[in-house]
Structure 1
């Protein structure tokens, strides 16, 4: 059974700014006064539970609250396993997904995305072995772990085919792990030569465990991360896109990303399914 975390925000519904902001929001959400958002807080600094206060923190949390406040509603966070998020959206259990999800073409078959940041898959290893990898091509033939619930295994296989196999080198040995924490544990145990994680999370990881890991090269993919909506929820999607545009224009978006040291991942403008708004 999954738990639901409800985090209410004080919203001045009678203020003119909030009334104007809420105009594009479908009536059902205005009446409910909230949106139910799928999120699994195990991906710092995007979403995590602060051990000192047991409260939700992260870029997605701060941004999700700011967007909802702009739209005049509160957020009910639904803690749902990543692999169940899409089905929860399709069945109406949640209204949207905001949980470090990559906007991938295959996901657009069943969802629409409001893109809010850029990301990429990044190789890293333990500091003691960093000297073995002058470039990411040195991972050819090595055993590398990554969360099996993400798009990383497929992306790593494509990278291996193009970089390793096509150049006569042994293919990358991809190990699907139970999550990024599991990959790090196996890496430190010496069961893996390296690991792959989202480039947006590694700076935070390095501050948590200094002198433990070394990032190798540049990300080998370039993707957007997006807020996911059901295909028939275009009004809600467009309301969120407009709210995000407003936060970018006001500077609040920048403040949130810089708070977590992710200024380099920001977008200049909102995109829907990878395409800029007209």
Structure 2
């Protein structure tokens, strides 16, 4: 069973220069809030401060800033990642903002307003840095990653092109219960390496200094996006306007810089991975 908890920062009614609330669907204007699906287990994108249980992260800061532009509050709905798309489809939540990759297979049900670049990144423990220096050193090795993400499929495709195609043994993909479980298995020696989003590995290294090393560069290139129901074009377009305002004011880059992800910033508005004029 999942639970919904309301939060956080009351976003002030649209200040000067903010996007007009008239751009919002009537149901949002009447409610005065956006209900946002978010699973707070993916730092630095979203997580709970261990000391205060307060939601933190880049997605949280950006979500609140966008809501402020629209003159509404945010209610974060803490639900399982696999339930997010059905929850948007049934109207249980209005949008998804939770480190979700803008993937073609998800666009059958969702439109995405993208907000940062990402990619899948191999990493291992510092103790094995001399053994696993390059990506192809992982051929034939056990590599852990969350089974709920796109990483297993992406790793299998990478392995087919870079291991099997060259006569090397395939990467052994080990599905885990999440990124924390993958790290636990890595520390225990049950897997040789792991995969996380390129936006999370630097943060992980700041938390556990000297514990991990990256292996090569990200081996995929994708965008993270805010997900909207295909039929909810009015709300999607309102968010596009709010994102434009944050980019124009510089607040967008300030939020990414706060989380040391300036290099992941986009140069404009992207919808379903396509640049918008």
- Is TM (by shorter chain) over 0.5? yes
* 1:13-92 map, 5 Å: 13=13, 15-18=15-18, 20-92=19-91
The residue matched to 1:267 in structure 2 has which SS? coil
Q: In the aligned structure 1, how far is the partner of 2:14 from the partner of 2:169?
A: 64
1:54 deviates by 1.3
Counterparts of residues 119-138 of structure 1 (less than 5 Å): 119-138=118-137
Structure 1 unmatched runs, 5+? none
8 Å contact from structure 1 (residues 122, 197) kept in 2: yes
TM-aligned CA deviation for residue 14 of structure 1: 6.8
How many pairs were matched up?
277
1:166-194 superposed Cα distances (whole Å, 9 cap, x missing partner): 11110010000000000000000000010
Kindly indicate whether the alpha-carbon contact (under 8 Å) linking 1:38 and 1:78 is maintained by their aligned counterparts in 2.
Answer: yes
1:186 aligns with 2:185: yes
* Residue 186 to residue 243, structure 1, CA distance change in 2 (3 Å): same
Please name the residue that 2:143 is paired with.
144
RMSD over aligned CA atoms reads 1.1
Conserved in 2, the CA contact under 8 Å of 1:124 and 1:216?
yes
Q: Secondary structure at the match of 1:183?
A: helix
Q: Which residue of 1 aligns with 2:10?
A: 10
Secondary structure of residue in 2 paired with 1:269: coil
Q: Is the 8 A contact 2:88 2:96 kept in 1?
A: yes
Deviation at residue 24 of structure 1 after TM alignment: 1.4
TM-score, length-scaled by structure 1: 0.97
Shift of 1:75: 0.4
Distance 1:65 1:127 in 2: 37
| Secondary structure of residue in 2 paired with 1:225 | strand
**1:12 shift after superposition:** 3.7
- Residue 133 of structure 1: how far off its partner (Å): 1.8
SS at match of 2:266: strand
Q: Provide the C-alpha distance between the structure 2 equivalents of 1:43 and 1:153, rounded to a whole number of angstroms.
A: 17
The aligned residue for residue 274 of structure 1 is 273
CA contact (8 A) 1:21 1:243 kept: no
Q: 5+ unaligned residues in a row in structure 2: which ranges?
A: none
1:143 and 1:172 in contact (8 A); partners too: yes
TM-score (norm 2): 0.97
Provide the residue aligned with 2:97 in structure 1: 98
